[in-house]
């Protein structure tokens, strides 16, 4: 079972080019998960205990505000990551993640991975190298969405 998970982790494009030791380490924090359409991977303010590497299906990231219906600001698909708030205190989710289709994913135990990053800074650095570019590109995309470029200008 662990070997199968190692293979799955190794093949996910997010973990490409990692050494065998690191893969083994990550596989130790990983498990297979499945979400039915409409099911939530996590909700706002819940502890960021597990993040997901999507293998199949689409996940909607929603922002919820009181008195308003949820707005989806991003969807993530196969090969993409859902959940970054596990990286930094207070380790709580700041949006909802909802399966749009049937979603198969690798769930990564956040606490397990944080401990491993603290113990081995090289692993921590490898995680940063992968997450930071993704964050920057998401941030840029969000800013463009904020511009509401298709909307009528004032």
Partner 1 sequence: MLDRPAAAPMVPKVVRVAAAQQELADVWTLNIDAGDSGFPFAPGQFNMLYAFGVGEAAISISGDPTRPERLVHTIRSVGKVSDALARLRPGDPLGLRGPYGGGWPLDAAVGSDVIIVAGGLGLAPLRPTLYRLMAERDRYGRIVILCGARSPTDILYRNELEGWRTRLDIEIEVTVDRAGRGWHGNVGVVTTLIERAAFDPAHAIAMLCGPEIMMRFAAAGLEKAGVSASSIYLSMERNMKCAIGHCGHCQFSSDFVCKDGPVATWADLRRLIVMREI
Partner 2 sequence: MRQLAGQVVLTRDGLQALIASLNTAGYRVCGPTVRDQAIVYDDIDGVGDLPAGWTDEQDGGHYRLKRRSDDALFGYVVGPHSWKKYLHPPRRSLWQATRDAEGMAIIAEPETETRFAFIGVRACELAAIAVQDRVFLEGKYVDPHYRTRREGAFIVAVNCGEAGGTCFCVSMETGPEVRSGFDLSLTEIVTGGERGYLVEVGSDDGLAILAALPQRPASDADTAAAGAAIANAAAHMGRSLDTNGIRDLLLANLEHPRWDDVAERCLTCGNCTMVCPTCFCTCTEDSSDLAGGEAEHTQRWDSCFTEDFSFIHGGSVRTSAKSRYRQWMTHKLATWWDQFDSSGCVGCGRCITWCPVAIDITEEARAIRDGSAHVGAS
> Which residues of this chain interact with partner 1, rule CB under 8 A?
58, 60-61, 69-75, 77, 100-101, 141, 144-145, 147-153
With binding defined as CB under 8 A, does residue 152 bind partner 2? yes
CA dihedral 149, 150, 152, 153 (to 10 degrees): 10
Judged by beta carbon, residue 68 or residue 152, the one nearer partner 2 is: 152
| The entry of partner 1, partner 2, none that residue 154 binds, CB within 5 to 8 Å by partner kind | partner 2
Please tell me the distance from the alpha carbon of residue 37 to that of residue 126, in angstroms, as a whole number: 33
CA dihedral 135, 113, 29, 49 (to 10 degrees): -70
Q: Which stretch binds partner 2 (CB under 8 A): 11-19, 47-55, 90-98, 146-154?
A: 146-154
User: Looking at the DSSP assignment, which residues form a beta bridge with residue 62?
Assistant: 72, 96
Please tell me the distance from the alpha carbon of residue 27 to that of residue 58, in angstroms, as a whole number: 23
With binding defined as CB under 8 A, does residue 147 bind partner 2? no
DSSP state of 92: B
With binding defined as CB under 8 A, does residue 153 bind partner 2? yes
Instruction: Catalog residues that contact partner 2 under the rule CB under 8 A.
Output: 152-154
């Amino acid at each position: 079972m662990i070997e199968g998970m190692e293979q799955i982790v190794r093949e996910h494009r997010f973990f490409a080019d990692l050494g065998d030791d690191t893969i083994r380490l990550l596989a130790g924090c990983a498990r297979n998960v499945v979400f039915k359409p409409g099911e939530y991977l996590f909700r706002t303010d819940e502890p960021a205990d597990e993040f997901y590497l999507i293998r199949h299906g689409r996940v909607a990231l929603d922002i919820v505000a009181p008195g308003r219906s949820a707005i989806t600001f991003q969807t993530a698909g196969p090969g993409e990551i859902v959940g970054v708030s596990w990286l930094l205190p207070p380790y709580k989710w700041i949006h909802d993640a909802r399966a749009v289709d049937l979603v198969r994913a690798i769930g990564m135990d956040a606490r397990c991975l944080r401990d491993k990053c603290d113990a081995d800074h090289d692993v921590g650095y490898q995680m940063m190298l992968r997450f930071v570019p993704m964050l920057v590109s998401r941030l840029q995309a969000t800013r463009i969405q904020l511009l509401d470029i298709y909307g009528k200008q004032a």
